Structure 1
Amino acid sequence: MLCNSCIRSVIVQAGIFRKTRLQLDNIGRSLNASRSINYKWNRQVFLRSSITMMVDSDSTDTRGPTVDLLKEKEDDGGFVSGWWKSEDGELSCGYSSFRGKRVTMEDFYDAKSTTIDGQRVCMFGIFDGHGGSRAAEYLKEHLFENLLKHPQFMADTKLAISQSYQQTDVDFLDSEKDTYRDDGSTASTAVLVGDHLYVANVGDSRTVISKGGKAIPLSEDHKPNRSDERKRIESAGGVVMWAGTWRVGGVLAMSRAFGNRMLKQFVVAEPDIQELSRESKLPSSVDCKLLKRVY
């Protein structure tokens, strides 16, 4: 999606791609990211919002209602999409999805907006499930809810994101302790608080900021053959081996994920987090895209 250059905006886009040639136009050419892969679903979530957030200096520590910006629609296997725009015109977001070869949906997205101390807070996430849909669905239902409840959310947002990710993983595993399932999920999220954008990922999600067609990566895939990830896994007693691609224990093709109880000692849910602000790295007009790629 392209943003009108005269509008100062942030756009967050998320998509899931498998078994198709990934075309990212200027972003793909800048990153040389296009390669032959398979697609199971293509899901996009995008946000347009004013970078400048007005703060009421007389506000108290109050929180407004949390609004689900995007509503799930019944999907009969065809293309579905939706769109929402705030009354003041400062925020708009939407999604589109179509089903690939999978019989059931394993992927979910979430988009919420609220106000805290007079500031608009926007949260966007895409969760790619594997081995089933339960982990991804649990993240949709609880991850941002847990984040908003964190006592340090406004004071130390990065700490709150990290701890909320890991606590949500613990909670999910506890909720599934009496089942024989071993669902897992990645997560790619963007949280906008005032002039600050926090991008977090667990798994092989990717986040890219594009300015004038030039792509700037904000995340790195959590792959088992990444040197630091391999060292962490082997130090914990695990093994990384080739089985069509590099896999933890010859099973999972990513080194971090929610769920995956049988590999939990090695496959953690601790996110990598990047923080940008308009005063430092975040330009006044920018396209920020979260991309989920599965090999």
Structure 2
Amino acid sequence: MGYLNSVLQSSSQVHAEDGPVCGGGLSQNGKFSYGYASSPGKRSSMEDFYETRIDGVDGEIVGLFGVFDGMFHTYSVSDKCMNMNANLVANYPNPFLKAYCLRTGIVFLGHGGARAAEYVKQNLFSNLIRHPKFISDTKSAIGYWHYNSDAYSHTDSEFLKSENNQNRDAGSTASTAILVGDRLLVANVGDSRAVICRGGNAIAVSRDHKPDQTDERQRIEDAGGFVMWAGTWRVGGVLAVSRAFGDRLLKQYVVADPEIQEEKIDSSLEFLILASDGLWDVVSNEEAVAMIKPIQDPEQAAKRLMQEACQRGSADNITCVVVRFMANQGGTSRSVSA
């Protein structure tokens, strides 16, 4: 009968508050190996999470990999707190953000935390492999056709239901890769990024979801929101990504709908990199691929990327997952976007 939703291998994340962590593994069928490395970098807190998991589902060995970058906001809505923070609002550099806060009574006091990222790490892939179409129609299970019945939107809505503190608003990106048979599906929400090396070339298989992108800005404005400059382009002057899990206050505009890219796993596909923006802020796609191409051990490759980002002065948490594909027999490569 084969496997039925049995976890064959999974990383148990050590939350890297005190320093870097790394590890790796090999699939039971010998088709791929993986490694991860994660560090708080210059930050005092760790808001990145990762998942490296191999499951048996309906007789198929599947790989599930993800990087989740947490975001968190505290805010005040009471008259008393509004008065206490009047000076803060008065000093907001952007007049539109100042007017918004004065009109709504919402004052954003800070950011930092990892609740949403941890929740998505713990629940997203479990929700995905339980989807009845996970093997037969993986795109549909991820979120391609059935809004609110797919794993990604379901995980988002369940996280929002679980949040009881109305003055805390957490969010998370998700850069995920699902290996099923000879298919690699990359599903991305936010600005963590996925890059493959195919035929020696660096190819981005996700795009960073930023509010100033023409289609993203149009979607946000069509929903009644706005995008403005506040150090960088931000949704409502607050959030620098246009898609995320969580982020209750901006949920109408900041959706958790993934963009999906499918790649055929064949002999030209060498490896995959998933990483948070702590890497991509200081290392280009081409640099990352060239840097680890000679490194056969994916754990050492992930560690090399993390160390390079630290050496280049990355100001953020840094998390990297590398999946290296073994010598596959196959024909012409293809890719399909969604």
State how 1:183-198 maps to structure 2 within 5 Å: 183-198=170-185
> Residues 51-109 of structure 1, C-alpha deviation per residue, up to 9 Å, x if partnerless?
xxxxxxxx57x515113432223645222222223565444322222222222211111
The two structures have a TM-score, normalised by structure 2, of 0.65
Question: How much is the aligned-residue C-alpha RMSD, in angstroms?
Answer: 1.9
Partner Cα separation in structure 1 for residue 125 and residue 236 of structure 2 = 31
Structure 1 residue corresponding to 2:128, chosen from 136, 147, 157: 147
State how 1:115-194 maps to structure 2 within 5 Å: 115-131=56-72, 132-162=113-143, 163-194=150-181
- Maintained 8 Å contact 1:69/1:84: no
Question: Which position in structure 2 is the counterpart of 1:65?
Answer: 6
> Residues 5-41 of structure 1, C-alpha deviation per residue, up to 9 Å, x if partnerless?
xxxxxxxxxxxxxxxxxxxxxxxxxxxxxxxxxxxxx
Question: Which position in structure 1 is the counterpart of 2:211?
Answer: 224
Partner Cα separation in structure 1 for residue 13 and residue 142 of structure 2 = 25
Partner Cα separation in structure 1 for residue 44 and residue 8 of structure 2 = 31
Counterpart amino acid of 2:66? G
Partner Cα separation in structure 2 for residue 213 and residue 246 of structure 1 = 34
Counterpart amino acid of 2:21? V
* Superposition deviation, residue 214 in structure 1: 1.4
> Residues 99-147 of structure 1, C-alpha deviation per residue, up to 9 Å, x if partnerless?
2222221111111111223321110001000112000000111000000
* Superposition deviation, residue 180 in structure 1: 2.5
SS at match of 2:6: coil
Counterpart amino acid of 1:289? I
The two structures have a TM-score, normalised by structure 1, of 0.74
Partner Cα separation in structure 1 for residue 28 and residue 249 of structure 2 = 47
Moved more, 245-254 or 109-118: 109-118
Partner Cα separation in structure 1 for residue 224 and residue 16 of structure 2 = 43
Partner Cα separation in structure 1 for residue 114 and residue 17 of structure 2 = 17
Matched, 1:287 2:255: no
Question: Which position in structure 2 is the counterpart of 1:242?
Answer: 229
Question: Which position in structure 2 is the counterpart of 1:48?
Answer: none
- Identity among equivalent pairs (%): 54
SS at match of 1:66: strand
Where is the strand percentage greater, Structure 1 or Structure 2?
1
Partner Cα separation in structure 1 for residue 10 and residue 67 of structure 2 = 14
Structure 1 residue corresponding to 2:188, chosen from 201, 208, 211: 201
Structure 2 residue corresponding to 1:92, chosen from 33, 50, 56: 33
- Maintained 8 Å contact 2:68/2:192: no
Relative to structure 1, is the Cα distance of residues 76 and 130 closer, same or farther in structure 2, using a 3 angstrom cutoff?
A: closer
Relative to structure 1, is the Cα distance of residues 259 and 76 closer, same or farther in structure 2, using a 3 angstrom cutoff?
A: closer
Counterpart amino acid of 2:230? A
Relative to structure 1, is the Cα distance of residues 68 and 103 closer, same or farther in structure 2, using a 3 angstrom cutoff?
A: farther
What runs of 5+ residues in structure 1 fail to find an aligned partner? 1-58
- Maintained 8 Å contact 2:245/2:256: yes
- Maintained 8 Å contact 1:169/1:269: yes
Structure 2 residue corresponding to 1:112, chosen from 34, 38, 53: 53
Partner Cα separation in structure 2 for residue 224 and residue 75 of structure 1 = 30
- Maintained 8 Å contact 2:244/2:256: yes
Partner Cα separation in structure 1 for residue 133 and residue 30 of structure 2 = 29
Partner Cα separation in structure 2 for residue 153 and residue 285 of structure 1 = 23
SS at match of 1:182: strand
Bigger Cα Rg: 2
- Maintained 8 Å contact 1:70/1:95: no
Partner Cα separation in structure 2 for residue 202 and residue 84 of structure 1 = 26
